Structure 1
Amino acid sequence: MLKRLRVGLLWHSLRAGNLGVGALTLGNIAIIREVAASAGVDVEFVVLSMRESSTDPIAEGIEQYEIDTRRLFSPDGFRAKVDTLDCVIDIGAGDSFADIYGAKRFAFLYLTKKFAVDRGKPLILAPQTIGPFTRQPYRWLASRIMRRAECVVARDEQSLAAIEELAPSARSALAVDVAFKLPFDDQSSDCTGRKYRIGINASGLLCRQAESGENRFGLSFDYLALHRRLIDHFSSRDDCEVFLVTHANSAGDTGDDDGTRADRLSREFPAVTRVPDFAGPSQAKSFISSLDFLVAGRMHACIAAFSSETPVIPISYSRKFSGLFGLLEYPWLTPVTGWDEDEAFNYIVKSFEELAAMKEAEGAALQRVDEMLAAYRDTLSSLFQRLPGQAG
């Protein structure tokens, strides 16, 4: 008889407009189910997330519990839900366990972790970006919770170094982003013998930063101006067709909405194709697999391309890009600082002539992904075998 475990998936999502969080969720579910099956365990998932506007879940038959301030602090809210679980696996929405998103977001990330371990639930921080934590009290609080976790798994070497600096006694491991295991329908063979299919993913967030001049992430070039140049360049070539691809949609915040920006750019450049918003991350990855080349500002649009062996140029806006793609030995990306607009544009155009080398590098890295996830799988397996659970 199989042992049954109720597993809380903290800071995952079934309804996020940002498909990157959905990709993490589905990828992690696939990994956890595979590990559980090998350990003779049946798992039941409860996704624990912020309140979300989207109503259509990306997976059926999984409970989702939405957290707000009242539920976080109410005795019959979040903590009562945690009491029904056997363990908590927290992915931090990929990169939110940091101090760069403000005090309120950090408070939610920290307190949900704290309440879980306070209730005696084993907490695993699944592969994610850890930090940066540049000031107090963030550094002290992050250190404290990492030391109390079952294991903290970094998805790049810079994050692993942050764990070792802040919480050297914490159990830590290095893996790769779980979204590499996101299921998809490979469409690469459906579009052969035609023009080059060029995808442009213009991040609504970064375009707004460029327009406002705020530049919170410190890019050394005008992000929106670069994308206009790229669209104009590739759409004017007789051997290319350009597709505007969205990967984060926010009905409540048009400034963070790739779709709103794609609509504007498609009116400005009527020769391009504005791809309809995707129903979920697997559908986005399936379409991206049909492209010959993608330029993307959303991290998980880049991962979708890379893991479907579509040559991609990530437009970095934080160290999570250099950390991940450095781990994969993939050098084709723009840096956050140090380049002006001309340098970034010329680099991307030149890289388009290196598609074969880019694809070869992706293929070589993908052969190592399972090996790179081994430490995370082992951590899950050890915990699942140790927990008593319920008779299935």
Structure 2
Amino acid sequence: MNIVVINAYVRENAGDAALLSVCLRQVREAFPDADVVIAGMEDAAVHPSFEGARNIGSIRRHVADGTVSLPRRLLRKALVGLAGAAAVTLPRPLARGVLRVLPAEARREADAVTRADLVVSMGGGYVLARPGLDGYQNVFFVLLPAMLAQKAGVPVVWAPQSFGPFPAAAQRRLVGRVMRRSAAVLPREDVSVGELLACGIPAEHIERAVDAGFAFDPERRIDWRARLGVGPDERLVGITARRWLPRPAQECYERELARTIDAVQATGARAVLIPQVSTDYLGDDDRICERRIAGHCTSGPLMVDEVVDYRDLKGLYDECTLLIGTRFHSVIFSLTSDVPCVAIEYEHKTRGIMADLGLGEWVIPIADVTHDRLWTLVEPLLKDPTPYRTILDRNLPGYLARARSLPARLREAV
């Protein structure tokens, strides 16, 4: 049996790496003898595999490759886009001929998904569009491997993930077309269910699911307290931050986080800035903004300033007393270790999943972050986390069980 996991991201994004790790484990649990390959955003020449699964590269990586010049990237998008559109609309014999003219990396993914027995689009938050041409391009290239698979009669499963927003009617029509033809569509929060309904997908075809990050439980390999120089009885408060807002608002967000870090450390706790994402792809490296935040602090926080394996980062969150988390998978990693979290929302996945767990009151939109608002939520948790943990202990076990249910659904899809 041949299975292709599509839309994988990069391992330096710890959340997406965890989702891919869980996806591969659950695919193998469902089909122990299957040959599983990955089509993702990592260069196969640099990263030929991930946790034992061969990486073949992808159409998306080929057309967005930042190592080539902008004119060349635009040419790739135009040629692959036209060939892909022709391949999903022409009769099968002609479509196969079109796919043979694709560049080698794009052709590898196209060949893999059209010859597979099952295609699984891993969890995440990438099926969305922004206003403008880039939004159309993202939707098209994200959906293209699934459309090619469906053209060949291969079942496609969308593992638990977020969907939307889709600002244009044409985007919603395309998403609706692909999802209606998929074997399973698994949104991970209610807002995504609404987005899918707006795309014309029947309610009975939408299966509400749980983010796979809740099923991520790697072995601990690092003594983080020794590495950070923190005593066994010292309280450790984790902070994750990211670049997201326009420059003036981003600076305000960073300065307000710095004020909160100072307040945390004034209580005797130690604050540590944790880079959940540390990739140079699209300039998405949390260490850059976290260095600025540290520079605004009057009492220097601890910092993790190196690239850390996604499995080892989970162990760091285990050591925290509290997390102030912008990157939402840092929140998930912490919640599964019974660590209370104040979540800073930049996409609807944050509020949706926190509300699922009964923790919606501990969410602040990123554009509304001020020290006063953060401290109103953080200070009580530092003094007494019991009410928070009571809610978490009541709601988390059932959530974890649902996060582990994908293997059975995959077997049903084939």
TM-score (norm 2): 0.78
Mean CA deviation greater in 130-139 or 168-177: 168-177
In the TM superposition, what is the alpha-carbon distance from 1:339 to its structure 2 partner? 4.8
Correspondence 1:155 to 2:146: no
Report deviation, 1:99. Answer: 1.5
* In 2: Cα distance, 1:45 partner to 1:84 partner: 13
Q: Does the Cα contact within 8 Å between 1:6 and 1:86 map onto a contact in 2?
A: yes
Residue of structure 1 in register with 2:165 after alignment: 132
Q: Does 1:22 align with 2:58?
A: no
1:288/1:136 Cα in 2 relative to 1: closer, same or farther (>3 Å)? same
Trace 1:205-220 onto structure 2 (pairs within 5 A).
Answer: 205-206=243-244, 209-213=245-249
Partner of residue 274, structure 2 = 245
The residue that corresponds to 1:80 in the other structure is 111
1:260 lines up with 2:255 in the alignment: no
Contact 1:210 1:224 in 2 (8 A): no
Aligned partner of 1:9 in structure 2 is 5
Q: Which residue of 1 aligns with 2:69?
A: none
The answer to which of 112-121 and 370-379 deviates more is: 370-379
Kindly state the Cα deviation for residue 50 of structure 1 after the two structures are TM-superposed.
Answer: 2.3
**Bigger shift: residues 262-271 or 359-368:** 262-271
Give the match for residue 29 of structure 2.
Answer: 34
Gapped regions of structure 1 (runs ≥ 5): 216-220, 387-392
Distance in 2 (CA, whole Å) between partners of 1:137 and 1:170 is 23
Change (3 A) 1:27 1:157: same
What secondary structure is seen at the aligned counterpart in 1 of 2:30?
helix
TM superposition shift of 1:60: 3.6
**For 1:234-284, what per-residue CA distance to the aligned partner results, in whole angstroms no more than 9, with x for missing partners?**
1233x2111110101122444x21012223334444632112434322111
Instruction: Name whichever structure is richer in helix by fraction.
Output: 2
8 Å CA contact 2:160–2:186 kept in 1: the answer is yes
Q: Take 1:201 and 1:281, find their aligned partners in 2: how far apart are those partners?
A: 14
Structure 1 position 135, deviation (Å): 2.0
CA drift at 1:147: 0.6
What SS class does the counterpart of residue 242 from structure 1 fall into? strand
Could you state the TM-score of these two structures normalised by the residue count of structure 1? Answer: 0.82
C-alpha distance 54-293 of structure 1, shift in aligned 2 (>3 A): farther
- The match for 1:343 among 365, 373, 376 is 373
1:200/1:245 contact within 8 Å kept: yes
Aligned partner of 1:225 in structure 2 is 255
**What is the SS of the residue equivalent to 1:198?**
strand
Confirm or deny that 1:184 pairs with 2:218: yes
- Would the alpha carbon gap of residues 361 and 55 (structure 1) be closer, same or farther in structure 2, given more than 3 Å must change? farther
Tell me the residue number matched to 2:324: 295
- Residue 347 of structure 1, CA deviation: 2.6
Structure 2 residue identity aligned to 1:202: A
Amino acid at match of 2:151: D
Query: What one-letter code is carried by the residue in structure 1 that aligns with 2:410?
Result: L
Alignment match of 2:344 (pick from 306, 312, 315): 315
CA–CA distance in structure 2, aligned partners of residues 210 and 59 of structure 1: 35
Distance 2:197 2:136 in 1: 23
Tell me how far apart the structure 1 counterparts of residues 282 and 45 of structure 2 sit (CA, whole Å): 13
- Out of 347-356 and 245-254, give the one that drifted further: 347-356
Counterpart of 1:390 in structure 2 is: none
Compute the displacement of 1:294 (Å): 0.8
- Structure 2: stretches of 5+ with no match in the other structure: 64-75, 84-98
Q: How does 1:112-127 map to 2 (within 5 A)?
A: 112-127=145-160
- Percent identity between the two aligned chains: 20
Greater relative contact order (Cα < 8 A, sep 6+): 1
Q: Tell me, in whole angstroms, the C-alpha distance in 2 between the residues paired with 1:52 and 1:344.
A: 40
Q: Describe the shift of the 1:308–1:55 C-alpha distance in structure 2 as closer, same or farther (beyond 3 A).
A: farther
Which letter does structure 2 place at the counterpart of 1:83?
T
Distance 1:370 1:378 in 2: 15
Shift of 1:29: 1.8
Whole-angstrom CA distance in 2 between matches of 1:277 and 1:85: 38
Deviates more, 1:64-73 or 1:321-330: 64-73
